[in-house]
Amino acid sequence: MEELKRATGDYSCDNLIGAGSYGSVYRGVLSSGESVAIKVFRVSNSERAERSFIRECKSLGKVRHRNLLKIISACSSTDFKALVLPLMANGSLDRHLQGDQPLSLQRRFSILCDVAQGLRYLHHDCSPQIVHCDLKPQNVLLDEDMTAYVADFGIARLFGPTDDSANTSSALKGTVGYIPPEYGFGGLISTKGDVYSYGILMLEVITQKQPTDDMFTGELTLSQWVSMIIPRVLENCSQTIPLDDIYDTNEEFQRALKHSTLEDLIQLGLWCIDKVPNNRPSMQQVENTLAEMSHTIHHNHHNLTNI
């Protein structure tokens, strides 16, 4: 505990990176010289904070994947609990979506692929299976190379032989705007809930419109707005989202690439947020679809440059 206190300058406000319902995250430098993020849980006055700490330890302690944030170490006593995590040089995804420098289409596509791969591992390759329950841009972190990591497993659910998560209701787990509709009616937590949240995140990455934007009032939602005016959304995104320099040599190719990629991503996002959970794809299907899109993009670019 003393090491963490020293590393953060006694949890100085100058080192505060962010704060949430159950605790705060500080930037720190360990005695080894390693820069880290230290997540301190408010366990002294919150039973939920302690449960959140336990869930993060159980979840992140079991996963090994390049797109899931790992735990470097944990510190736990009766009245103090903290996690030491890698410090992400480029912060959270939401900061970049709301920033002045728009992410390129290739970068957005790459981030969406990274998140899909992390979720696919949780849903299909992890034992016990893990449902994140709170996927949103604030919980997607970016390292110095802009590789994306799914983070914050504080309300995640593990589905294994000795775990009873599969028999518990959702109780509206998650963040408003990203919670699947079935959770609002007491539906059971499932991987399809994560798929819904991923679909909302995908539409937000494309449109840079948050699901809680003031424009979405009454029954109008982000998904409804996108589905109603797809041509206008495509036109606007094509004008505001830049391409990487590698594609700047041919203006006609730029327009075609933007239009086809954006349209395919929007359609995939709308598939993920189908109101009926069983109609949504699995994250394996999402990852496969993105891989096919990536292959098509590179194939077309290769053919164009060899004309």
DSSP-assigned states of every residue in 75-125 = EE-SS-EEEEEE--TT-BHHHHHSSSSPPPHHHHHHHHHHHHHHHHIIIII
Residue 246, C-beta contacts closer than 8 angstroms, at least 6 positions apart:
106, 301
Q: Is the pLDDT of residue 282 over 70?
A: yes
Q: Is the pLDDT of residue 145 over 50?
A: yes
- Measured over all CA atoms, what is the biggest interatomic distance in the chain, rounded to whole angstroms? 68
pLDDT at site 19: 85
Taking the C-alpha atoms of residue 240 and residue 104, their distance in angstroms, rounded to an integer, is 9
Catalytic residue among 114, 134, 152, 194: 134
pLDDT single digits (tens) 74-93? 999 888 999 999 999 999 99
Taking the C-alpha atoms of residue 23 and residue 42, their distance in angstroms, rounded to an integer, is 5
152 is known as an active-site residue: no
Taking the C-alpha atoms of residue 76 and residue 74, their distance in angstroms, rounded to an integer, is 7
SS3 of residue 149 by DSSP: strand
pLDDT single digits (tens) 47-73? 888 889 999 998 888 788 999 999 999
SS3 of residue 26 by DSSP: strand
Taking the C-alpha atoms of residue 73 and residue 250, their distance in angstroms, rounded to an integer, is 49
**Tokens 């470097």 label which residue?**
72
pLDDT (average), residues 28-47 = 89
Kindly report the backbone phi and psi dihedral angles of residue 68, in degrees, each rounded to the nearest multiple of 5, phi listed first.
-125, 130
pLDDT (average), residues 234-253 = 76
Q: Hey, what are 58's tokens? A: 């159980």
Chain Cα centroid distance, residue 12: 28
Q: Are 140 and 149 in contact (CB under 8 A)?
A: yes
pLDDT at site 162: 54
Give the least confident one: 41-45, 94-98, 288-292. 41-45
pLDDT (average), residues 117-128 = 95
pLDDT at site 186: 86
Q: Where are the domains of the chain?
A: 2-86, 93-305
The CATH number corresponding to 93-305 among 3.60.15.10, 1.10.287.110, 1.10.510.10, 3.40.50.970 equals 1.10.510.10
The CATH number corresponding to 2-86 among 3.30.360.10, 3.90.1280.10, 3.30.200.20, 3.40.50.2000 equals 3.30.200.20
Of the candidates 128, 147, 168, 175, the one whose C-alpha atom is nearest the C-alpha of residue 67 is 147
pLDDT single digits (tens) 147-189? 999 999 999 999 876 554 544 555 567 899 999 999 988 888 9
